[in-house]
Amino acid sequence: MEQLLPLFLLIPFLGFVVSLIIPSKNEKGIFLSMAIPAGLQVFFGIGFIFYWLLFNQNTLNIKEITLYSTGDYSFFIDLLFDKVTATYLMMSSTLTFMIAMFSRGYMHKDNGFKRYFTTMILYFFGVQVIIFSGNFETMFIGWEILGLSSFLLIAYYRDRYLPVRNAFKVFSMYRLADIGILLAMWFMHHLFHENVTFIQLLNPEFVQNHIAGNMGVAIMVSFAIMLAASIKSAQFPFSSWLPRAMEGPTPSSSIFYGSIAVHIGVYLMLRTYPFWHHIPFIQVNVILLGLVTTLVSTTIARVQFSIKGQIAYSSLAQIGIMMVEVALGFETLALLHLTGNAFLRSYQLLISPSIVTYKLRDQFFNYKQKGFKPMGAWQKKLYNTLYVFGLKEFHMDTYIYNYLWFPFKKLGDKFSNLNTKTALILFALIGGVAGYILSFYEYDHFIFKQYLPDVFGLIALIFVLRAFTIRKHPYGAWILLILNHFLIALAISFNEHFEYIEIVFYLSGVVVSGVVGLVVLYKLAKQEKYSLDDYYGHAIEHKYKAIIFLISAIALGGFPITTTFLGEDLLFSHVRINQPFFMGMLAVNYVVSGISIMRIYARIFLGPNHKWSNAEARRSA
């Protein structure tokens, strides 16, 4: 049976490839490229699960392919199937098939019909990779695909300001969740001294033997997993992004943020439960996280003025309860709860436009003024306080901006004198000094050896922070982001001995995507004006340049379409466990560089096009 598992990834992938080939005017063909894979997934899923329940019921695992192996590091694709996978498989496939059928009429004659369905099938493929993943490396591939497709669907109405702004905001949060997975992989590597698989975590003796003498590292692994799961499932204090993510078409919001994507955090907690349930401290924290999210989300949901906001926060309240169920060990109950909530919220979002229309008409005939019960002074004060906090969403958005993103902007502004010319000169000097040290000194006996990785890592971080705050010159920001990767490679090369093929893996994708991106920016500059101080919406008139630049941007950011993705994980494995400062800099670098790259794409190619010949929506639209 294990040999059939790759089939569940191949079906949606082929659907995605076919959707790229079909002409944009062929609506039926585009629709079928999504409906057929989803339908086949449901059909084969039912048969596979029925046979598995009847004759097996054991956890299935297959090591599919090893992409790279050296020493104690091995990057391989591993697939796993158990009751958690079975539940998510049927839930995601059934909902995707239903949404595909619904979307055919909903998106009929829309200018972005092909773009919508292609992105949806890409999302479906990403979800299948996640739920069938047998290790963190395989999961991270699907995790990245899910993040990209989410960004593209939220920004589907790319000629409007608000969808693009909210898409970028959600992408920023997803990037922060990515670092949770990367840190978990890094800590796991040092805890188990191998790329551990999820089926190995099912062995209690194996897990406890490794945790026993490394409780601190085990706790850090668990907190990294909690960070990724809480952001992906919009748990407190990251809840505010979910209603803002519903700027795309209603069907995509229904399947993404009403049902499947928002429950991926719960999936992560279920999949890693055999590891972190050995640590009572983490169990208590997961329970507290779920309870606080439930209370806060319920308060906010009761005062939301939009139906999508009400549904979003109501769903979060249920997901908070699921987190509690998982922490208490009620895995089956959590799966049943999750499935019911996913179908309910998807249905509610699909009918929400009709309900709003009905309620608006009904109030003209059956309106009744709501009566208020008499309250004491303290009750009234408490009621009003909670009401205002609910309206303000407990200021979660404000706190995240003030204490997370604003400090990065403030730091970047301190290096405002760092322009492209200065950066290139500095990079040349650093490269010259590094080459001199490696050529004329026995590096192992070099007196400042231990400080060089931190120095180069800090300079790379400065380059990224500067790119994050540049508002006038996209060309300069792009160059800084390319140089950043070379500095990281240099820092790692001074940190530990490794094979040079690893640097080639990492930098080959950077060089190709960086050069292609520069060419696109150069050619666009000959035809249009643009900077990073506003949204210019050039994708409307420069469709192919926008597509090429997007591919370059995601490749430069480490998306799994080039060897840079593999090299990124490979280089992180050369950071030692006693280097928290160095790893911290790399983590911040990863988050901010990815956001900076997508910021360039969003500012230049998305948003309202200000030319008089193009209709422009209001910013609040």
Same domain assignment for residues 325 and 421: no
Question: Domain range holding 530?
Answer: 414-605
Residue 619 is predicted with a pLDDT of 60
CA distances from 584 to 390, 487, 590 (A): 34, 16, 10
The b-or-e profile of 541-561 (16+ CB within 10 A means b, else e) is: ebeebbebbbbbbbbbbbbbe
pLDDT of 612 above 70: no
Cβ atoms of residues 245 and 170 within 8 Å: yes
Same domain assignment for residues 241 and 332: yes
pLDDT of 620 above 60: no
Same domain assignment for residues 348 and 494: no
Same domain assignment for residues 347 and 449: no
Same domain assignment for residues 23 and 147: yes
pLDDT band at 566 (very low <50, low <70, confident <90, very high): confident
Strand partners, 70: 73
Q: Which residue has the higher pLDDT, 227 or 192?
A: 227
Work out the widest C-alpha separation in the chain, in whole angstroms. Answer: 89
Q: Is residue 10 situated within a structural domain?
A: yes
Q: Is residue 601 situated within a structural domain?
A: yes
Residue 250 is predicted with a pLDDT of 85
pLDDT of 351 above 70: yes
What confidence tens digit (pLDDT) does each residue in 198-221 have? 998 888 888 888 888 888 899 999
pLDDT band at 417 (very low <50, low <70, confident <90, very high): confident
pLDDT of 153 above 70: yes
Residue 592 is predicted with a pLDDT of 92
pLDDT band at 364 (very low <50, low <70, confident <90, very high): confident
pLDDT of 615 above 70: no
Mean pLDDT of the chain: 87
Residue 515 is predicted with a pLDDT of 94
Residue 563 is predicted with a pLDDT of 79
Cα–Cα distance, 525 to 506 (Å, whole number)? 29
Amino acid letter for position 545 = K
pLDDT of 617 above 80: no
Instruction: Report the Cα 407 to chain-centroid distance in Å.
Output: 22
The 3-class SS string of 304-317 reads CCCHHHHHHHHHHH
Query: End of a domain among 360, 377, 405?
Result: 360
Q: What is the mean predicted confidence (pLDDT) over 285-300?
A: 94
Q: Is residue 580 situated within a structural domain?
A: yes
pLDDT band at 445 (very low <50, low <70, confident <90, very high): low
Residue 118 is predicted with a pLDDT of 93
CA distances from 486 to 260, 424, 504, 509 (A): 37, 12, 11, 12
Task: Work out whether the CA dihedral 401, 402, 404, 405 comes out positive or negative.
Answer: positive
The continuous run of DSSP H or E covering 272 comes out as helix 264-276
Q: Is residue 381 situated within a structural domain?
A: no
Same domain assignment for residues 351 and 275: yes
Same domain assignment for residues 476 and 348: no
CA distances from 378 to 303, 375, 381, 383, 388 (A): 20, 8, 5, 8, 15
pLDDT of 7 above 60: yes
Q: Is residue 428 situated within a structural domain?
A: yes
Cα–Cα distance, 265 to 225 (Å, whole number)? 9
pLDDT band at 358 (very low <50, low <70, confident <90, very high): confident
Q: What is the mean predicted confidence (pLDDT) over 482-500?
A: 84
Question: Which residue in this structure is represented by tokens 């695909």?
Answer: 145
Q: Which two tokens stand for residue 478?
A: 């792009």
Cα–Cα distance, 74 to 194 (Å, whole number)? 8
pLDDT of 536 above 60: yes
pLDDT band at 321 (very low <50, low <70, confident <90, very high): very high
Q: Count of domains in the chain? A: 2
Residue 440 is predicted with a pLDDT of 59
Instruction: Report the Cα 241 to chain-centroid distance in Å.
Output: 12
Question: Which residue in this structure is represented by tokens 């279920």?
Answer: 270
Same domain assignment for residues 59 and 122: yes
Strand partners, 73: 70
Q: Which two tokens stand for residue 562?
A: 């080039």
Same domain assignment for residues 264 and 130: yes
CA distances from 526 to 294, 519, 522, 529, 536 (A): 53, 11, 7, 8, 15
Helix/strand/coil for 134: coil
Residue 441 is predicted with a pLDDT of 53
| pTM metric for this prediction | 0.91
Orientation of helix 474-493 relative to helix 452-469, angle to 10° = 170
Q: Is residue 68 situated within a structural domain?
A: yes
Strand partners, 60: 81
pLDDT of 286 above 70: yes
Same domain assignment for residues 446 and 532: yes
Residue 596 is predicted with a pLDDT of 93
Cα–Cα distance, 477 to 72 (Å, whole number)? 37
pLDDT of 613 above 80: no
Residue 442 is predicted with a pLDDT of 54
Q: Which two tokens stand for residue 400?
A: 């995240």
Instruction: List phi, psi (to 5°) of 397.
Output: -60, -45
Same domain assignment for residues 492 and 344: no
Cα–Cα distance, 69 to 573 (Å, whole number)? 12
pLDDT band at 63 (very low <50, low <70, confident <90, very high): confident
pLDDT of 544 above 70: yes
Residue by residue, DSSP assigns 199-242 as HHHT-HHHHHHHHHT-HHHHHHHHHHHHHHHHHHTT-TTSTTHH
Orientation of helix 161-192 relative to helix 215-232, angle to 10° = 160
14-28, 532-546, 600-614 — which is least confidently predicted? 600-614
Q: What is the mean predicted confidence (pLDDT) over 301-315?
A: 88
pLDDT of 446 above 60: no
Residue 438 is predicted with a pLDDT of 67
Q: What percent of the chain is modeled with pLDDT above 90?
A: 42
Residue 444 is predicted with a pLDDT of 56
The continuous run of DSSP H or E covering 77 comes out as strand 73-81
Question: Cα angle at 246 between 539 and 548, to 5 degrees?
Answer: 25
Orientation of helix 474-493 relative to helix 563-572, angle to 10° = 50
Q: Is residue 444 situated within a structural domain?
A: yes
pLDDT band at 75 (very low <50, low <70, confident <90, very high): confident
Residue 293 is predicted with a pLDDT of 94
pLDDT of 595 above 90: yes
pLDDT band at 92 (very low <50, low <70, confident <90, very high): very high
Q: Is residue 261 situated within a structural domain?
A: yes
Q: What is the mean predicted confidence (pLDDT) over 265-294?
A: 93
CA distances from 48 to 82, 286, 611 (A): 12, 33, 55
pLDDT of 256 above 90: no
The b-or-e profile of 377-413 (16+ CB within 10 A means b, else e) is: eeeeeeeeeeeeebeebbebbeebeeeebeebeebbe
Cα–Cα distance, 471 to 528 (Å, whole number)? 17
Residue 342 is predicted with a pLDDT of 92
Question: Which residue in this structure is represented by tokens 């059909």?
Answer: 43
Number of H helices, E strands in the chain: 25, 2
Q: Which residue has the higher pLDDT, 441 or 125?
A: 125
Same domain assignment for residues 314 and 420: no
Torsion over CA of 32, 35, 40 and 41, rounded to 10 degrees? 140
140-154, 191-205, 447-461 — which is least confidently predicted? 447-461
The continuous run of DSSP H or E covering 66 comes out as strand 60-70
pLDDT of 337 above 90: yes
Cα–Cα distance, 570 to 505 (Å, whole number)? 9
As to burial, measured by CB atoms within 10 angstroms (0-12 exposed, 13-18 middle, 19+ buried), residue 110 is middle
Cα–Cα distance, 420 to 473 (Å, whole number)? 9
Q: What is the mean predicted confidence (pLDDT) over 309-314?
A: 90
